[in-house]
Amino acid sequence: MTLRWVSGKVVLKKESVAADPYYNNVSLLLHGDGTNGSTTIVDSSPSPKTVTAVGDAQISTAQSKFGGASIAFDGTGDYLTIPGTSFDLPGDFTIEAFFLLNNARSEDETIVGKWDDPLLRSWLLNVRASSVIFALGQSGAIDAFQPSATIASNTWYHIAVSRAGSSIKIFLNGSQIGTTYTSSYNCTSSAQDLAIGINLDADRTPLDGYIDDLRITKGVARYTSNFTPPTAPFPEVLG
């Protein structure tokens, strides 16, 4: 509620505030907002975590989907790390972000992952100019899914991976790409840090581009069919 002055009297005015019914399930929420050049990346989840910027990873006002800024990676060893087991995904989950590639290529560029080689366990989300790659690993075995997609340079996209039970769906700009995949892997038992913009344990091309509003939700498959991508920053309010 806010106060509004009307001809000599105070009137209460109700304003709508964006809310998220699953906010308490959010393990990570990076809006990428801040001062240009800042290396302070804020986690706006219910349990904020320390985000470490490596290389030249930083806030940039050169590109943004929301808020006038995003997180920039120049493709030469820039990335973010976050420690902890909050990103083990033993059940339902949703991983999503807005991203822009400076130069869409045929090589994998990592959006986010918690991958542990050579044990091939936990999970990883990569993109290419012609496909999206999502992998889950457990006990030395791997399920990897690579639906075709057209990803152009200098264009913002919303990417989402949503799992309900053993069913996994991958969405680009709200439309499912590929089939509905299945995997029973738990994506746990990895001591590796979460990494954004790089795969710490494999020879992959670091991300050359931008990430805005990255969110990981545990225990909830937010998207089970085609949807309209968010048109505003992800909420920080339960409701």
State how far the Cα of 219 lies from the Cα of 199, in Å rounded to an integer: 24
Closest Cα to residue 71, out of 103, 98, 104? 98
Class of domain 22-218: mainly beta
pLDDT of 18 reads 85
96 forms beta bridges with: 160, 215
State how far the Cα of 96 lies from the Cα of 174, in Å rounded to an integer: 11
State how far the Cα of 77 lies from the Cα of 93, in Å rounded to an integer: 28
At which residue do the structure tokens 């044990």 appear? 119
Q: How confident is the model at residue 160 (pLDDT cuts 50, 70, 90)?
A: very high
Closest Cα to residue 71, out of 93, 104, 38, 23? 38
Amino acid at 24: N
Q: Tell me the two tokens of residue 79.
A: 């990335």
Average pLDDT over residues 132-158: 93
The sign of the CA dihedral 40, 46, 218, 211 is negative
Domain boundaries, the chain: 22-218
Measured CA distances, 115 to 8, 87, 172, 193, 236 (Å)? 63, 11, 22, 8, 28
Q: How confident is the model at residue 141 (pLDDT cuts 50, 70, 90)?
A: confident
Instruction: For residue range 182-213, list pLDDT tens digits in order.
Output: 999 888 766 789 999 998 876 567 999 999 99
In the predicted structure, residue 109 carries a pLDDT above the cut 90: yes
- Cβ atoms 66, 31 nearer than 8 A: yes
pLDDT of 16 reads 52
